[in-house]
A and B are shown apart, each in its own frame.
Chain A
């Protein structure tokens, strides 16, 4: 197993390299010149050229790419075009808000979704099942930006229960209750998305296991329903559930672009939007690479978990 994990990690190096090349090309193909953002209308051509060469944009793409690689290995991912701060420093600031928002959202989503999915499956086609499934339909088809805006309007502005955005009240950074209040609305928006997806997977997976012959065997042994649920159904329905978790996990790094933007959450998601708007190549590249690393690691984690859960899945030595 350790060999398998090491092998997968080694394979991911060329994958990351290819992703960085692809990302680099895409980012540079984006219309608009970053230098334009920092140029005022009264600048002379000499000043414009100076700005471009200061940003390194006057060099050929290949050279720019190698500069980027050099910066990557130096650990600071280069300097932001707009703020001139090291990219690593900016990311570090933005990382913890996103980590907080996404992990709380995922945790809340799963804590609700897994029991609800199981309940729906065990009561298939009853009114309980139908209301749970109806609820997930509502959440899946309701765009998060609209849900976010609706919540802000009703609970933030009309009823004024929750703050409409941001992470803390300025000047009261140590107020835990205030921080929690800021967390509620964005978590509700994120969690409703994650949980809707998860409920449907859990339900389908449990239904699939319920139909299996070994569940009939378990029933015929005289085991109680609760025992069968925990000892036989749950573990066997985990594979699709783990797969969904694997696709959700990278979002802890990548953040939620739209939700963070709506709630002015100072995380990676809103940084991404800002970086795109200002054509801040080094920041965009760093976010793409970090997200790719997160996806690769999550996939590896999922594959390892498969083998832990299901003894039939064993990877070559």
Chain B
């Protein structure tokens, strides 16, 4: 088993707004392993972005409240250390790439300087050395003529090139962890693939761990080693990419996968999960997904399901995994995926465990 580099435990975050308290993240726990890519998937407002921004503590200070939990990195709780200590971690150890490359760069500073800035701060280099290093980084991320480009301003670059600049900027100090917050959402599809490949390539080169925040399952399939699915501030399913894509347990994950168009989709209308995500201001009692879930059990409306263990690496928060739960038949698409999964992992123990489980449901 790979070494854990970052550990988030029971993270709970709320925002104070004029209308009242919003519980954006409610008890999120996960480990990030060295060298892996973890994808966090979820709808807008599922808390995926908030919980990752909390890692680097870049949430607005005035109205954010870290209710409980800890984020452990190098033996320290990042939520408890001083702002000055945090500045030494941000950018140097844990770097971020943001969603919108058009607005994430300072319009009045040359891109070379924006990259060099964090090198000057963290690696105590002179300005000239840092600028040379910035040119190297721009070369590394595939920007042509880095020497001249580094003296240009962001508006002189296209969206894809700006995202490359953002990547160069985040890699400036060779961080251990790279948090990419929907890095391809604002880009053309052709550019998206290039950026994903670039991040993947640099991850290998620099031995980084990557957290990928996205609502695009296609992106997840492309890059992720492990996947965490979030809904209404909680992780509802987490496992390896194969497990989540081909052996999903949570009805919400089923819904997400079924609403993904595929080459063989024959229906004129694409499936979509009925209803809308809950209002985080007043959450329903029990499972937040229950009102939209056609597989919901009576207990779903009463009590939040805990994370049930499916395998060593796979957990899902649904009462359907409880030994006493009735057996339900997942949608056809999911059953098809189960078959593929079984053909891959025929010999593995987990499938047998599941089979026993289902047979006990039946009995």
Contact = CB atoms under 8 A, between A and B. Distances in A.
A268 to B, nearest CB: 37
Interface-centre pick from B96, B106, B153 (highest chain A CB count, 10 A)? B106
A232 B89 CA distance: 20
A311 B110 CA distance: 9
Nearest to A211: B60
Contacts of A217: 96, 98, 104-106, 114, 166, 169
A125 B62 CA distance: 9
Contacts of A216: 58, 98, 104
Given A213-B100, A219-B90, A223-B87, A310 B108 contact: yes
A312 B155 contact: yes
A216 B121 CA distance: 17
Interface in B74-99: 84, 86-92, 95-96, 98
A221 B90 contact: yes
A314 to B, nearest CB: 10
Category for how many chain B residues contact A: 20 to 34
Contacts of A220: 56, 58, 90-91, 95-96, 98, 170
B43 interface: no
A240 to B, nearest CB: 14
B113 to A, nearest CB: 9
Contacts of B114: 217
A214 B104 CA distance: 4
Contacts of B95: 220-221
B132 interface: no
Given A125-B62, A213-B98, A224 B90 contact: no
Contacts of B118: 221-223
A235 interface: yes
A312 B153 contact: yes
Given A124-B62, A231-B117, A312-B155, A214 B91 contact: no
A41 B84 CA distance: 83
A309 interface: yes
A213 B104 CA distance: 5
Contacts of B56: 220
B68 interface: no
Contact of B106 (A124, A125, A218, A227): A218
A127 to B, nearest CB: 14
B103 interface: yes
A44 interface: no
Nearest to A239: B108
Contacts of A45: none
B71 to A, nearest CB: 15
A96 interface: no
B300 to A, nearest CB: 37
B121 A232 contact: no
Interface string A61-98: 00000000000000000000000000000000000000
A223 B58 CA distance: 12
A223 B108 CA distance: 17
Contacts of B166: 217
A310 B106 CA distance: 11
10 contacts: A213-B103, A214-B104, A216-B98, A217-B106, A220-B56, A220-B58, A224-B84, A310-B108, A311-B107, A312-B153
Interface of A: 124-125, 212-214, 216-224, 227, 231-232, 235-236, 309-312
Interface of B: 56, 58, 62, 84, 86-92, 95-96, 98, 100, 103-109, 114, 117-118, 121-122, 153, 155, 166, 169-170, 172
